[in-house]
């Protein structure tokens, strides 16, 4: 194999690994924010935990950006927590 080709492929693979790590971190943040919203007490309004909502929306937007789906950011603001019963 040509050394230049190996360097290009190696760099591409490293960038891909970095992108996957970023996506994994964003998914983990989104999961934690979802979990936090889900664990809100029954009858609680989403506005009662604005920080959780903001983190949820931000993590959803980050996932969308990483995947190249800009519409995901708009969808994030429409997701509401499901209260425990």
pLDDT in tens, 11-50: 777 777 888 888 888 888 888 888 887 777 766 665 667 7
Q: Domain span at residue 17?
A: 3-76
In this structure, is residue 50 part of a structural domain? yes
pLDDT tens column, 63-74: 777 776 554 445
Rounded Cα distance, 29 and 35, in Å: 10
* pTM check: above 0.75: no
In this structure, is residue 29 part of a structural domain? yes
DSSP state of 47: G
Q: What is the length of the chain?
A: 85
In this structure, is residue 48 part of a structural domain? yes
Residue 66's nearest CA partner among 16, 23, 12 is 23
In this structure, is residue 82 part of a structural domain? no
Tokens of 33: 């924010």
When divided into structural domains, the chain yields a total of 1
């Amino acid at each position: 194999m040509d050394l230049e080709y190996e360097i290009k492929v190696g760099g591409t693979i490293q960038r891909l690994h970095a992108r996957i790590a970023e996506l994994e971190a964003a998914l983990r943040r989104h999961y934690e924010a979802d979990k936090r919203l889900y664990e809100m007490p029954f009858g609680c309004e989403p506005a009662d935990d604005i920080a959780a909502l903001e983190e949820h929306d931000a993590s959803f937007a980050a996932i969308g950006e990483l995947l190249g789906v800009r519409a995901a950011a708009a969808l994030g603001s429409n997701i509401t927590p499901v209260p425990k019963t």
